[in-house]
Structure 1
Amino acid sequence: MHKFGKKIILKKYFLEYKPFLVFLASFFGSYIVLTFLYQIFLNGFENNTVDTITKAVAQNTQKIISYFFMRIQDEIVVNEPFVRMYFQNEYIVRIVEGCNGISVIILFISFIIAFSGSLKNTLLFIFGGALLIYILNVLRIAVLIVAMYYFPEKKHLLHSVLFPAVIYGAVFILWFIWVNKFSKYAK
Structure 2
Amino acid sequence: MKKYFTQYKPFLVFLASFFGCYILLTLLYQLYLSGFENNKVDSITYLVGQNTESVISWFYQSIRVLDSENEPFLKVFFQGIYVVRIVEGCNAISVIILFISFIVAFSGTLKNTLLFIVVGSLLIYILNILRIAALVVLIFNFPAQSHILHDILFPAIIYGLVFVLWIIWVNKFSKYAK
TM-score, length-scaled by structure 1: 0.94
* 1:115 partner amino acid: F
Measure how far apart 1:77 and its partner are.
2.1
Q: Which residue of 1 aligns with 2:152?
A: 161
| Counterparts of 1:70 and 1:186, CA distance in 2 | 48
Report % sequence identity: 68
Measure how far apart 1:79 and its partner are.
2.0
| Counterparts of 1:134 and 1:79, CA distance in 2 | 27
SS at match of 1:83: strand
* 1:165 partner amino acid: A
Measure how far apart 1:75 and its partner are.
1.0
Q: Which residue of 1 aligns with 2:167?
A: 176
Deviation per residue, 1:4-53 (Å, 9 max, x gap):
xxxxxx00000000000000000000000000000000000011110000
Q: How is 1:27-176 mapped onto 2 (pairs within 5 angstroms)?
A: 27-176=18-167
Q: Which residue of 2 aligns with 1:3?
A: none
Larger Cα Rg: Structure 1 or Structure 2?
Answer: 1
| Counterparts of 2:58 and 2:157, CA distance in 1 | 22
* 1:108 partner amino acid: F
Measure how far apart 1:69 and its partner are.
2.8
SS at match of 1:14: helix
Instruction: Name the Cα RMSD after superposition.
Output: 0.5
* 2:78 partner amino acid: F
Residue segments in structure 1 that go unaligned for 5+ positions in a row:
1-9
The question of 1:12 aligning with 2:3 is answered yes
Residue segments in structure 2 that go unaligned for 5+ positions in a row:
none
* 2:115 partner amino acid: L
Equivalences, count: 178
